[in-house]
Homo-oligomer: A and B are copies of this chain.
Amino acid sequence: MILEKKRLFDAYAAKQGLRSTRQRDVILDIFLSTHEHLSVEELYLKVKASHPGIGQATVYRTLKLFVDAGLAREMTLPGGQTRYEHQLAGEHHDHLICTRCNRIVEFEDATIERLQHEIAQRHGFRLTGHKMQLCGICPACSAAEIQ
């Protein structure tokens, strides 16, 4: 699966005439080795830990490439911070976000998915993407609150 993503990026790079650089390889490896919804800063820190020479402008630039290449997805949380997560081809999931502890839980719902397309169609929109964020209090924080 990691290999598949690397191939996806290589294909994109080839199509766009991008050069292959050590930095991009490193950032891709580290990005693929995570399973979280990373902020740029977080990824930058991980990268810097093993490769101190890499600057954060490069991390910013590279993450945008990943989005264009189709292997990452950008999400803007309430509060304005941007996070990146793996994009698995054809899979659409949405997020439950705990407003206390910022924990993010992913979910998928085919019915909502279908309704979204119907709504877009009804308004004449050609749908290219969507974001749904349900905000609330997670079980752990609910429990902690009672104490």
Contacts and interface: CB of A to CB of B under 8 A. Distances in A.
Interface string A106-118: 0101011001100
Chain A interface size band reads: 35 or more
Q: How many copies altogether?
A: 2
A139 B119 contact: no
B127 A135 contact: yes
A127 B99 CA distance: 10
Contacts of A134: 116, 119-120, 125, 127, 129-130
A76 B131 CA distance: 11
Interface of A: 74, 76-80, 82, 96, 98-99, 105, 107, 109, 111-112, 115-116, 119-120, 123-139, 142
